[in-house]
Amino acid sequence: MVISAKNVGQTYRSGGRPLTVLRAIDLDIEAGEKMAIVGPSGSGKTTLLGLLAGLDQPTTGTITLLGQDLAALDEDGRAAFRAANIGFVFQAFQLIPTLTALENVLVPLELAGALKQAKASELRARASDLLGRVGLGDRIDHYPAQLSGGEQQRVALARAFAGAPRLLFADEPTGNLDADTGAIIIDLMMELNEAAGTTLVLVTHDLDLAHRTGRTVRLAHGSIASDVRTPLPASSRAPSTATI
């Protein structure tokens, strides 16, 4: 199990009354698995994804990633753990507008590279290579405002893959894209995912996309309403490393 949530709950206490948005979530995700989280707006999808990725800490329960109990780490420890193991694609891309495509991809590389004392020139070469793989080799010096939505999402994807994460999370990665561009992004995620055996957890409203992952968890009012595995089409079969 690379991701394990036990009795996870989240209660927000900003404002007046406490608001419980997730309750008693139990979820186990295996290495190399691809999983979609679906559910109506406000059902807790983004909250759950953030907790599973270690961006936030749950109010109750425990989350274990790659055998590490996240609550056992302090804030810096969690940041280092995320830099080494986790990629996250935010819903609205969240590229840094004052940095070029290459510099945006370099941000997590520098975070992770600092740990491994990698050379700056090697990191730039890797960032450039990643952008080439998402089809943006001729756009590396463009700023986000000079890129289309689909191109920005591809930069966000390259950035999420930059640290060669074992776990990749994506929040509605096709939500802001037209159907054709969305399909390119999904193919890329599946491809990169299969090549590296990366575990993929994504939130989506697109049921066709959810179906392509092979496992769909449906949230309703902060609880898991269903957890369904469907046979995968041949083109998106799980990588062989999934069984290790």
Q: Does 47 bind ligand ADP (CB under 6 A)?
A: yes
Sign of CA pseudo-dihedral 80, 93, 211, 136: negative
| Shorter beta-carbon distance to ligand ADP: residue 101 or 203 | 203
Which secondary-structure segment (H or E) carries 80?
Answer: helix 75-85
- Position 42 contacts ligand ADP (CB under 6 A): yes
Q: How many CB atoms lie within 10 A of CB 234?
A: 6
For the bound state, the minimum distance from the C-beta of residue 149 to Mg ion, rounded and expressed in Å, comes to 18
Amino acid at 144: P
Minimum distance between the CB of residue 39 and ligand ADP, rounded to whole angstroms?
A: 6
19 binds ligand ADP (CB under 6 A): yes
Which residue lies nearer to ligand ADP by CB, 41 or 121? 41
Buried (b) or exposed (e) across 180-200, using 16+ Cβ within 10 A?
A: ebbebbbebbbebbbebebbb
Rule CB under 5 A: choose which of 4, 10, 43, 46 binds Mg ion: 46
- Output 170 or 190, the one with its CB closest to Mg ion: 170
Nearer of residues 55 and 232 to Mg ion, judged by Cβ: 55
- Neighbouring CB atoms inside 10 A of 96's CB total 12
Closest CB to Mg ion: residue number = 46
- Dist CA 38 CA 149 (whole Å): 23
Angle between helices 120-133 and 101-116 (to 10 degrees): 130
Smallest gap from residue 222 Cβ to ligand ADP (A): 7
Question: Binding of Mg ion at residue 100 (CB under 5 A)?
Answer: no
Pick what 173 binds: ligand ADP, Mg ion, none; C-beta below 5 to 8 Å, kind-dependent.
none
Nearest residue (CB) to ligand ADP, 11 versus 62: 11
- Does 104 contact Mg ion by CB under 5 A? no
CB of 36 closer than 8 Å to CB of 213? yes
Q: Is the dihedral of CA 74, 201, 93, 88 positive or negative?
A: positive
Does position 235 interact with ligand ADP (CB under 6 A)? The reply is: no
> Which residues contact Mg ion by CB under 5 A?
45-46
